Amino acid sequence: MTTTAPTTARDVALAWLDARVAHNLDAVVDHAADDIVYDAPGIRLTGKDAFREAEAVFLPMITGVTVISAFGDDTSALLMYSVDTAPVPANTTGAHLTVTDGKISALRVVYDQTPFAALQGGTGR
């Protein structure tokens, strides 16, 4: 867990991920800029309120995260991690975060949506 205030984009990214694992919605959203742009498979949201709504749906499903790799500089970070959720275990996920003034201004998440779609009777393709 990150224990100091985030100073680099990588620090912000890991703090965001830590907050997700802890199911701390307020902390997750506190890492976001007011005008965050969030892209994920089938989703494009803009603004902190929309981001909060999306995270509020997903956070309760998370049962664990294993960070595979984390890279970053002052303005961007790239995470690769395996996320375990109640419906789908061990889904390898990539996240690219752009950080402006210590807040996530853009977040692009990619993952295999096929297992989630299969649970809903679709193929995810």
> Which pLDDT score, from 0 to 100, does residue 37 have?
98
Residues near 53 by beta carbon (within 8 Å), at least 6 away in sequence: none
Say if 79 falls within a structural domain. Answer: yes
CATH of residue 46's domain is 3.10.450.50
The letter for the amino acid at 82 is: S
Sequence letter at residue 109? V
Q: How many domains in the chain? A: 1
DSSP notation for 75-123: SEEEEEEEEEESSS--EEEEEEEEEETTEEEEEEEEE--HHHHHHTTS-
Q: What is the pLDDT of residue 105?
A: 98
Which domain covers residue 14, as residue numbers? 9-119
Which mean pLDDT values do the consecutive 10-residue runs of the chain (125 residues) have? 72 97 98 98 95 96 97 97 92 97 97 79 58
Q: Under 8 Å CB-to-CB from 114, ≥6 apart: which residues?
A: 123, 124, 125
Residue 39 domain-assigned (yes or no):
yes
pLDDT for position 123: 55
| 34 token code pair | 């007011």
